Structure 1
Amino acid sequence: MHNKKWDFRIVCAHAFTILIWGTAFPGIRMGLEAYTPEHLTLLRLLIASLILLLFSLIYKLRLPDLKDIPVIFIFGALGFTIYHIALNYGEKSVNAGPASFIVSVTPILTAILASIFSNEKMKFNGWIGGVICLIGIAFLSLSQGDSIQLNSGVFLILLAAFSESLFFVFQKSYLKKYGFLPFTIYTIWSGTVCMLIFLPGIYQEIVTAPIEITLSVIYLGVFPTVLPYIALAYITSHASASEATSSLYLTPVTACIIAWIWLGEVPTFVSIIGGGITILGVVIAHLTFNKDDYKQIESEKVW
């Protein structure tokens, strides 16, 4: 029997994830006012790792197999260390809204890489969507300020999206083995360990940073870095992985609205056009992936 109560809970989980991840991009912009990109990443991941450690002790999370630890560290570096550092450096010159639109091409990059490395067929409209996204990103790269000029921060954010795509492409067998949430916890921990090389100097930044900026970094560590993954794990346990992430295409719109309210970042006309084109490309490319054409990852075990 179809349970409408479960449907309502899944919708709430989707809405929560979209809202919280939408706050991450303006939160990063605020954090960069007092923290370097490296220290912002480190502090955010340290906070997230501490919360997840307590969470794991309560629920008695089992440790990964010893032979998988080196690979998990590589995943942690790709999905969290490189991703966050590149995104933070990119957001030094790119506003929160455009940054979120650029990151939204991650599913397309993932599909392209999967077609190369995993022999997953990508249909024609997938490639068309990718080309449309590139046009949108070209607009976004010229959209900062009142004048039209190339913004190199766009390429750093594209690097972040590419790193995240590699993280998604090769994780399939480990998701099946450990489950969505445990694997995410392992990779956050390993990504945090990789960031420890930037530990020197972070204390000085903490004590000199305005309290409101430090609170925004704490917020980033608690909310966008931890809670949406728990919500996604819940959704994935009741639906396919593709359905769990499909509504995240609304995240850039949420990020633009929040950045406008929180930071006063009014979107330029060029950035609105570029963002709209990018989302159009992502949607067109996403239509390629249906149950008849591809085997989607379904994580039946969440914990």
Structure 2
Amino acid sequence: MNKKTWIIYIMLFIATATWGSAFIAGKIAVQSFEPATVAFLRFLGAAVLLFPLMWIMEKNQKKPTLKDYGLFAVLGLTGIALYNICFFIATKQAPVIKSSLFIASNPVLIVLLSGLFLKEKITRNHIIGMVIALTGAAFIITDGHILTLFTLGFETIDFVLLGAVISWALYSVVGKVVLKKYSAVESTTYAVAFGTVFLAPFAFAETTWQDITQANVSTWVAIAHMSIFVTVVSFIMYYYGIKEVGAAKASIFINVMPVSAVLMATIYLGESFTLAHGIGAAFVLSGVFIGTNTRLFKRKIQVVNITEYR
């Protein structure tokens, strides 16, 4: 593994670990605003920062075509608007165990879609690493009581959770297509801009000017953190990682998010860090290592092109 690849993996690790802080910041922000409003303000702030950043960093910008704008709109609709709406609805109505596990299962769908539509190679270490990392995430989420997952049952809210998972998977896969022509900064900027527009009607419907003026300093600091670090910095790093190593391999790092969230909850919210959390973290990190180390298993599993059998 060369030096550049290690740097990319470190960037992906930092990006997904930073996403874990969104749970802490979001918990603070929703005390003053409804979920859709928090998401809108977060991405509005990010858009204000991203456009100047794009104009400074990208000297030779390509003029998007109508088709390109359509792809950017899909990114904004899936990864920004729908994902956040589904996620916040689920966090209010579904058990934390169930919603967290659904989100942690994202890499599975991303790998499958990447293999089918992007023709990315699905390697044995991809699958082994993904299973180990997902097991670790489940261990953390359930505090070591994995069997409780079988007692939750199926509910209507599960469709909303499934919507969140599908939305993020589509965002990652379509993003790989967009990255063939545009940089990580350009792709993130346009996706955030469209997502902000899609979120605006929900925010305007549920928030009044009085809500804005009565929000405390902690709320605005939390939203600023999500705009700058969770969105601008982390999304750019994640997209750059997808461009360099592929959506399937980059998605394995999503399992770092629950580890980060637990550690930050321990530090900032005073929640306890248990032995199960430590074991789960070890599983996640082992899974990420196995899933990204191509030398461990060299045999590749070819994805069948279903169009050949039509």
Q: Which is richer in helix?
A: 2
State the match for 2:64 in structure 1: 64
AA paired with 2:237?
A
2:150 matches 1:160: no
Aligned-pair CA distance for 1:211:
1.9
CA contact (8 A) 2:104 2:137 kept: no
State the match for 2:259 in structure 1: 253
Q: Within 5 Å, give how 1:53-132 maps onto structure 2.
A: 53-59=51-57, 60=59, 61-92=61-92, 102-115=102-115, 117=117, 126=127
Render the CA deviation track for 1:35-91: whole Å, top value 9, x for unaligned. 111101111110111111121232354442123212321221011101111222233
Distance 1:54 1:99, change over 3 A: farther
Render the CA deviation track for 1:185-218: whole Å, top value 9, x for unaligned. 2111111111121242253322222221222012
CA contact (8 A) 1:113 1:169 kept: yes
Aligned-pair CA distance for 1:30:
2.0
Distance 1:84 1:254, change over 3 A: same
State the match for 2:237 in structure 1: 231
Q: Within 5 Å, give how 1:1-303 maps onto structure 2.
A: 13-14=11-12, 16-59=14-57, 60=59, 61-92=61-92, 102-115=102-115, 117=117, 126=127, 133=134, 140=141, 150=152, 156-200=160-204, 201=207, 203-232=209-238, 239-241=244-246, 246-266=252-272, 272=277, 279=284, 286=291, 293=300
TM-score (norm 2): 0.71
Unaligned runs of 5+ in 1: 296-303
CA contact (8 A) 1:25 1:99 kept: no
Residues of 1 paired with 2:208 and 2:293: CA distance? 45
CA contact (8 A) 1:133 1:281 kept: no
Residues of 2 paired with 1:225 and 1:128: CA distance? 26
AA paired with 2:44?
L
Residues of 2 paired with 1:93 and 1:143: CA distance? 23
Residues of 1 paired with 2:86 and 2:42: CA distance? 14
Q: Percent identity among equivalent residues?
A: 25
Residues of 1 paired with 2:293 and 2:9: CA distance? 23
CA contact (8 A) 2:136 2:281 kept: no
CA contact (8 A) 1:102 1:278 kept: no
Distance 1:19 1:284, change over 3 A: closer
AA paired with 1:167?
Y
CA contact (8 A) 2:102 2:162 kept: yes
Aligned-pair CA distance for 1:287:
7.1
Distance 1:72 1:208, change over 3 A: same
Distance 1:101 1:279, change over 3 A: farther
CA contact (8 A) 1:101 1:252 kept: no
Residues of 2 paired with 1:139 and 1:234: CA distance? 28
Aligned-pair CA distance for 1:150:
3.8
Residues of 1 paired with 2:124 and 2:279: CA distance? 22
CA contact (8 A) 1:130 1:285 kept: no
User: Root-mean-square deviation (CA), in Å?
Assistant: 4.6
AA paired with 2:212?
I
Moved more, 47-56 or 118-127: 118-127
Render the CA deviation track for 1:85-131: whole Å, top value 9, x for unaligned. 12222333678898665423212111233455556675788499669
Aligned-pair CA distance for 1:264:
3.0
Residue correspondences, number = 289
Residues of 2 paired with 1:204 and 1:80: CA distance? 26
Distance 1:81 1:49, change over 3 A: same
CA contact (8 A) 2:241 2:250 kept: yes
CA contact (8 A) 2:140 2:259 kept: no
Distance 1:223 1:44, change over 3 A: same
